[in-house]
Amino acid sequence: MPTHSIPYKDTGYFSKLICDYLAEDEGLNPFYNRFPNLENFKHQLVEKQKNFTDEKRHLLSKRIMLQYGDNSISQSTLSNIDLLREHNTFTIITGHQLNLFTGPLYFLYKIFSTINLAEKLNKTYPNNHFVPVYWMATEDNDFEEINYFNLFGKKVKWDRDASGAVGELSTEGLKEVKHQLKKEFGESENAKKLISYFSDAYTKHDNLADATHFLANTLFYHHGLVIVDGNDAALKKCFIPYAEKELTENLSFKKVSETTEKLTALGFSEQVHPREINMFYLKEKLRERIIEKNSRFYVNETDISFSKEEILKELHENPERFSPNALLRPLYQEVILPNLCYIGGGGELAYWFQLKDYFNKVEVPFPILLLRNSVLLVPKMLSEKLQKLNVEIDDLFLPQHELISKHTREISKIEIDFSQQKEFLKKQFKDLYELAKQTDASFLGAVGAQEKKQLNGLDNLEKRLLKAQKRKLSDELDRLKNIQNQLFPNQSLQERQLNFSEFYLEYGESLLDLLKENLEPLDANFTILEL
């Protein structure tokens, strides 16, 4: 398959923070530990090995096996779970919400980035083992972010009342969604396969966590992926010392606020705002913030409250009831996993940059941060249309009005660039300025005003000519707009808008094979993959 890549900074879709990080800008050095290159992983694993116990390894392996329940486990995944017990085994992790039917396309890119990096490290450092991990965000409580996916320009939505951690939501109502999908997908063999994926995941499991676990395990069955659910009482016991500091010292609030001030002073935006306590209280159909007021701890929007002694007793007796928020979850992951690298999108890495000083304070190694692969999938038909129009695929990353203006100038038989005329005019006025100085300096202002007026006139003529040519060439320009709209829905990146099922219908399992084969996790460029 033809592949092509362009620098992230040239796409126009990535923040200055991420582009500066990829360029290894020295100003960002204080906000991360090591840059993601092969050599640095050697140093990272030595640091992590010193800070991770065999006791944690055995517990982790045991709990993961239990979390798989009755799910079929491939030999490669089973081997990786068993290897987690070994002192020379490390993880590469990505995390994602429990989006309905995986949500946007980049779910696949995240996980294949993780799988491929683990494989590359296994080849580079054969005396160690590297395991790809998908961390399911089962404790999130924003149902509106995950209860739909886009299909053929429409939302496929799961309507129901929801409260508490999304992982515990029953799958009630998803049989109706399955019936809707059968109509949308049609009767092809790939359509039947998609329906079986959906049905086996969402109508044969009681809650969203189990359904997502099954689906991810099925999609990546042959690649050794290990799936972890952090909402686990035994694993959360390991986090009790850090949760205690959070409740009694507001440690993350202090350190993250300091780091965030340094980042914003450099001109970068705050991605996540730290709270005094960055934990939720979790029970059935309940996940609400813990707030301290006058030395008492309250669970927001409820009548539940604790004294300091009571909440610490509750933490030790029921650690599963304490849920880290987006800022504290990274620490929880790094405490319970022998992890070397976190792979995420630009927004995720942005809040990790706020955490470096906090990790140092609690003496937990800060992982390597890697931007996940980003991909534009270009069907062959659209690629051929672009060739006929003589348009480079890179140009489609331009805002549509810029793309159309650029293409109009290129195909117009009339020269629409008045740069030469403007330069000629400036030379004429240069002579007039000299003349004005020699005769009467009071004319300088009048000459300047006349120059500005005439340059503006040329600008207006150029815009009118461009507009007229756009009308004349509208048929070809409309074809170009249509191609861009298909590849960049809603003038956004395809990976953030479309679901994998649209491409699976056409390409089946070969879609997953192509992604596995073509994603290079340490290549800091945006990938364009022609199908």
**Residue type for position 370:** L
d(CA 474, CA 452): 32
Q: Pull the structure tokens for residue 251.
A: 């440690």
Strand partners for 96: 136
- What percent of the chain is predicted at pLDDT more than 90? 86
Neighbour tally for 426: CB within 10 Å: 12
pLDDT tens series, the chain, 531 aa: 568 999 999 999 999 999 999 999 999 999 999 999 999 999 999 999 999 999 999 999 999 999 999 999 999 999 999 999 999 999 999 999 999 999 999 999 999 999 999 999 999 999 999 999 999 999 998 999 999 999 999 999 999 999 999 999 999 999 999 999 999 999 999 999 999 999 999 999 999 999 999 999 999 999 999 999 999 999 999 999 999 999 999 999 999 999 999 999 999 999 999 999 999 999 999 999 999 999 999 999 999 999 999 999 999 999 999 999 999 999 999 999 999 999 999 999 999 999 999 999 999 999 999 999 999 999 999 999 999 999 999 999 999 999 998 998 888 777 777 666 767 766 776 766 777 777 776 677 776 777 677 667 666 766 776 687 888 888 999 999 999 999 999 999 999 999 999 999 999 999 999 999 999 999 999 999 999
The pTM (predicted TM-score) of the whole model is: 0.93
> What is the CA 415 to chain-centroid distance, rounded?
43
pLDDT in tens, 465-479: 668 788 888 899 999
Q: Sheet of 525-530: strands edge to edge?
A: 3-7, 525-530, 375-378
**Residue type for position 332:** Y
Among 275, 255, 373, CA closest to 324 = 275
Q: Pull the structure tokens for residue 265.
A: 């002073």
Write phi, then psi, for 98 (nearest 5 degrees).
Answer: -90, 55
Q: Are strands 525-530 and 3-7 parallel, antiparallel or unpaired?
A: antiparallel
**Residue type for position 348:** E
Among 92, 41, 83, 76, CA closest to 60 = 83
* pLDDT (0 to 100) of residue 181: 97
CB 344 within 8 A of CB 350: no
Q: Pull the structure tokens for residue 410.
A: 């290129």
Q: What is the dihedral sign for C-alpha 276, 278, 280, 281?
A: negative
d(CA 15, CA 188): 41
**Residue type for position 247:** L
pLDDT in tens, 48-85: 999 999 999 999 999 999 999 999 999 999 999 999 99
Q: What is the mean pLDDT of the chain?
A: 94
3-state secondary structure of 339: strand
